[in-house]
Amino acid sequence: MIICVYSSSSDVVEKKYFEAAYHLGKEIAERGDTLLYGAGKIGLMGESARGVHDNNGKVIGVIPEALNIEGVVYPYCDELIVTKDMRSRKKIMDERSDAVIALPGGFGTLEEVLEMITLKQLGYHNKPIAILNTEGYYNELIQMFEKVVSQKFAKEYIKAYYYVSYCVKDILNYIDNYEPVKHEKKWF
């Protein structure tokens, strides 16, 4: 299975986030799955790739040409795909992946996981989407999701379109046992 992981490129976040990213990479490798990610060397991106490689796994990186810079790009990707821009990058990541996991991250990570939920809601894919809520990082976002539903900006069924857990193994079990959701008619 090819698992797309969205995460931070910041090197100054707390150690607990790096530990979770490394642990996820390690578990992906030990399962025989492949990490597909944004090809970063730094931050949680690089840490998850190191977790995969330290455990004999495979890493596919996808990076836009503007970021394909020494010191930014992870130099040990088993496959490195350089795209014209960020939109092309996301398209390839979406097309090549079987599942999506969001680690803690900034605006780019939020945008990527929210886009995947939106695309699933619109019926463009039916992949498992999981949010690794390390140390409660995503608590406020999940509360916002609840508000979106409670105030009827989205229907209740949307909650089945993503999965949230604090535990890496739980996230991977969810992906292993995922049963595609029945797409509801959004406007009816």
Residue 118 has what pLDDT?
A: 95
Q: Residues of the chain with pLDDT > 70: what percent?
A: 97
Average pLDDT over residues 138-143: 98
Instruction: Match 């229907």 to its residue by tokens.
Output: 155
| 36-51 pLDDT, tens digit each | 999 999 999 999 999 9
Residue 186 has what pLDDT?
A: 61
| 10-66 pLDDT, tens digit each | 999 999 999 999 999 999 999 999 999 999 999 999 999 999 999 999 999 999 999
| 60-87 pLDDT, tens digit each | 999 999 999 999 999 999 999 999 999 9
State how far the Cα of 126 lies from the Cα of 31, in Å rounded to an integer: 22
On the 0-12 / 13-18 / 19+ scale of CB atoms within 10 A, 31 is: middle
Domain ranges of the chain: 2-175
Above 80 in pLDDT, residue 187? no
- What is each CA distance from 23 to 33, 52, 97, 116, 161, in whole angstroms? 14, 9, 20, 23, 24
Fold exhibited by the domain 2-175: Rossmann fold (3.40.50)
Above 70 in pLDDT, residue 1? yes
State how far the Cα of 132 lies from the Cα of 112, in Å rounded to an integer: 14
Please state at what angle helix 168-176 crosses helix 15-30, rounded to 10 degrees. 40
| 101-113 pLDDT, tens digit each | 999 999 999 999 9
